[in-house]
Amino acid sequence: MNNCQKYGKPPGYLYWRWKPDGCDLPWFEPQRFLDLVRGKKLAFIGDSIARNQFESLLCLLSQVDTAIQIEGNSTSKYRTIHFQSSNFTLMVMWSEYYVKAVPNTNCDAIGCFDLYLDKVNLNWTSRLPGLDYLVISGGNWLKTFVRTYSTAHFENGAWFNGGNCNRTEPFNESEINLYGYQSEVAKVQNEEVERIKGSNVVDNDNKNYFGVLDVTEAMMRRGDGHPGGYYNKHRKTANDCLHWCLPGPVDMWNEMLMHNLIKTSSLG
C-alpha cells in the first residue's frame, strides 16, 4: 500500500477535499457501507489503479471491522477479503486487458499485444459467477460501475527519465488545462455508458445497473497526492506519479462508490 507518510511525505495533501458543483459529496461512512453490502460480493477488476482503489476501500472498512484474507496476499494478482460482521466479500482481480490478449513477438516495441475484441479474458470472467457488484467497464447481470480515467502528474519528464510530482498543493483551474486530453477520455467513457443504457445491448430491467464514477476532473487537480519519491526505498526505481497515497485523494472514489450504492439500494 502507498503509505506516503510512513516514508516521509509531508501531510498537506490530506487537508484538501474535492467539492462538486451544486451538491455535497458525503464523507465515507464505513459502517453504513458495510450495511449496504451486507451478504454481498464486490470486485474491482483492472490494473494497478484498480488495486489502488481496492486498497483504499480495504483501509476504510478496516476501521470498523476485521478484514480476513482468504485468498492471496498484498502482492497477489487476485485477492479476496472477507468481513465477518456483515458477511461482505471484497475482491480484486488483476487484468491489463478485459479482452483476450496475446503477446506479439514480431513487434519491435516493448509490450506489444494482439487484442481479440470479440473474446473476453477468461482469467477474470471465469470468476464472475456469484458477484453482486463490479467496478469495471462491462457486464450486464450485476451492478456495474465504470470508474473514469485517473490522471498521472509527471512533470519535468516521464516516469522513465526523471519525471517527478513534487507539488504540495492541488493545481488551480488554469493549470489543469495541461491535462485537458484526459477530460476527453473521460467524456468518451461517459458517452459510451449512456449509449449502452440507451441501446438494446441490455434489457430494460438492467439499464439502471450501470453507473459512472467520474473521478477524472477531480483528480486532475491532485498532483500533490501521489507518492512521488516517498515509498519503499528498497523497491524504488522511479518517482510514482501515477498511483495515489493512502490515505489520500483516492479515498474520494469510494465516497462516490458509496453514494452510487445508496442510489441503487433499497436502504438508500
**Catalytic residue numbers, as ranges:** 48, 240, 243
Q: What are phi and psi of 188, to 5 degrees?
A: -65, -40
CB 150 within 8 A of CB 228: no
Strand, helix or coil at 193? helix
HSE-CB of 247 using CA atoms within 13 angstroms: 16
* C-alpha cell recorded at residue 116: 481479440
Residue type at position 26: P
HSE-CB of 219 using CA atoms within 13 angstroms: 28
Alpha-carbon gap, residue 215 to 252, rounded angstroms: 8
Q: How many residues does the chain have?
A: 268
* C-alpha cell recorded at residue 213: 464514477
Alpha helices in the chain (DSSP H): 30-36, 48-61, 122-125, 180-197, 216-220, 251-264
Residue type at position 20: P
Alpha-carbon gap, residue 31 to 21, rounded angstroms: 27
* C-alpha cell recorded at residue 158: 516521464
CB 230 within 8 A of CB 9: yes
Sign of the dihedral through C-alpha 104, 92, 119, 215: negative
